């Protein structure tokens, strides 16, 4: 991480580090992290902080009876949103007191990230803040987000932010030293993987849950985040955020946990955004053909090849293309709504079909991202 010239790093800190006892924010672990940020900036590095913890920080403001399991799901959801609102200001104030330079708050939903215009606006804002030596502190906007609009965890959010900011490195703090070949809490012979050069099914199989009862992201979401980041060429570190030595090692150019090497051939920026940030709103099942293996083949998809349309989506929405055997082929932008696409696919009259499709293909050719045939949890979620 040492560099003579400026480069950007994203640091993700979880709820268990912010409010370990759910009694408001604590400096127990944050002081070492804040010192790391200060020292990074002293080396000429530009830092973006992705900080969880608003709900955990605000929980103590509400009586325990309000969090009783007998409370309805709707009331519990409203309570969590209120906790986030109360805790966000406390969390920002806690971070702010550690620094003698200004900070800025950025609250995001997935709806902000998947909209191209808003996505570009986010990266412009982050860049402008960094140019003026202001520390951006990013969190998901839990107060207003819904199931349809939420990222769901700040591990994946940090990877999306790192890609948007064109960061060189992403550091994700965990409650263990890194990725092990098996759960180290349950297996004494578990071995730490110091470096991962390829994220595949075997790496996902090693991802266990987190022992933290405060945060929402376990090792699985950290691997998902690493996969997003490395495909953009971003070196990603999973380190133990509870150990001060982790941050000292990073500043010395050492990896204290697991390093996921960024790709030497990163995806083009727009293609990466479309693949790893935009979420599919529905699925189109197509007949299995050996020809559908390129973006051009997807763009030339005919109505005869469409077997089924799943979900409800509008013209211009992102869809997932699958073969009839379940293989994921691509994410793409549909030129038709799900209702009209179903209608076209059911027609036997070629002239009628041509009247719909002679000017526009079924799939928008400018927005097609081919996917790996072997699905991973991250790709299914995207």
> Per the annotation, does 222 bind a ligand?
yes
Per DSSP, what are the bridge partners of residue 369?
331
> Per the annotation, does 83 bind a ligand?
no
> Per the annotation, does 125 bind a ligand?
no
Other CB atoms within a 10 A radius of the CB of residue 285 amount to 20
DSSP 65: G
Q: Which residues are CB-neighbours of 120 under 8 A, at least 6 positions away?
A: none
Between the alpha carbon of residue 103 and those of residues 11, 136, 245, the distances in Å are: 14, 6, 25
d(C-alpha 284, C-alpha 21), whole Å: 46
Please provide residue 18's backbone torsions phi and psi, each rounded to the nearest 5 degrees: -75, -50
Between the alpha carbon of residue 224 and those of residues 47, 199, 277, the distances in Å are: 22, 9, 12
> Per the annotation, does 218 bind a ligand?
yes
Per DSSP, what are the bridge partners of residue 344?
none
> Per the annotation, does 143 bind a ligand?
no
> Per the annotation, does 217 bind a ligand?
yes
Helix (H) or strand (E) holding 196: strand 195-196
Q: What is the Cα Rg of the chain in Å? A: 22
Q: Which residues are CB-neighbours of 214 under 8 A, at least 6 positions away?
A: 14, 15, 16, 19, 20, 22, 56
> Per the annotation, does 142 bind a ligand?
yes
CA 303 to chain CA centroid, Å, is 34
> Per the annotation, does 324 bind a ligand?
no
Residues 262-267: contacts with CB under 8 Å, at least 24 apart: 262/229, 262/230, 262/232, 262/233, 262/234, 262/235, 262/236, 263/230, 263/231, 263/232, 263/233, 264/233, 266/231, 266/232, 266/233, 267/231, 267/232
Can you state the angle between helices 154-164 and 116-131, rounded to 10 degrees?
Answer: 80
> Per the annotation, does 152 bind a ligand?
no
With contact defined as beta carbons under 8 Å apart, do 306 and 330 qualify?
no
Strands 318-323 and 328-334: antiparallel
The annotated binding site for ATP is made up of 12, 174-175, 216-222
The annotated binding site for substrate is made up of 52, 142, 154
The annotated binding site is made up of 12, 52, 142, 154, 174-175, 216-222
């Amino acid at each position: 991480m040492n560099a003579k010239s400026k480069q950007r790093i994203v640091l993700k800190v979880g709820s268990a580090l912010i409010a370990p006892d759910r009694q408001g924010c604590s400096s127990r672990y944050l002081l070492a992290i804040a010192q790391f940020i200060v020292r990074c900036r002293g080396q000429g590095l530009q830092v973006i902080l992705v900080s969880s913890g608003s709900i955990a920080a605000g929980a103590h403001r509400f009586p325990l009876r309000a969090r009783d399991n007998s409370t309805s799901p709707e009331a519990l959801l409203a309570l969590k949103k209120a906790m986030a609102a109360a805790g966000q200001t406390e969390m920002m104030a806690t971070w702010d007191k550690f620094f003698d330079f200004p900070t800025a708050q950025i609250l995001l939903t997935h709806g902000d990230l998947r909209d191209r215009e808003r996505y570009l606006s986010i990266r412009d804002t982050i860049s402008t803040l960094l140019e003026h030596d202001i520390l951006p502190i990013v969190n998901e906007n839990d107060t207003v987000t819904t199931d349809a609009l939420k990222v769901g965890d700040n591990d994946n959010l940090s990877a999306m932010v790192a890609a948007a900011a064109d960061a060189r490195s992403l550091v994700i703090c965990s409650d263990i030293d890194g990725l092990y070949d098996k759960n180290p809490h349950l297996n004494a012979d578990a071995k730490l993987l110091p470096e991962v050069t390829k994220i595949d099914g075997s790496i996902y199989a090693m991802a266990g849950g987190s022992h933290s009862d405060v945060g929402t992201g376990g090792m699985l979401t950290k691997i998902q985040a690493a996969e997003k980041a490395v495909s953009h060429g971003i070196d990603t570190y999973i380190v133990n955020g509870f150990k001060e030595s982790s941050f000292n090692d990073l500043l010395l150019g050492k990896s204290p946990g697991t390093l996921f090497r960024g790709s030497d051939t990163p995806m083009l920026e727009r293609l990466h955004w479309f693949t790893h940030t935009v979420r599919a709103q529905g699925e189109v099942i197509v007949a299995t053909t050996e020809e559908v293996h390129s973006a051009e083949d997807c763009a030339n998809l005919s109505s005869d090849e469409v077997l089924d349309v799943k979900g409800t989506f509008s013209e211009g929405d992102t869809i997932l293309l699958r073969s009839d055997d379940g293989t994921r082929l691509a994410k793409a932008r549909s030129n038709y709504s799900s209702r009209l696409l179903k209608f076209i696919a059911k027609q036997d009259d070629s002239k009628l079909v041509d009247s719909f499709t002679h000017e526009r293909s079924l799939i928008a050719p400018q927005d097609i991202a081919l996917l790996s045939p072997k699905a991973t949890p991250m790709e299914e979620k995207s």
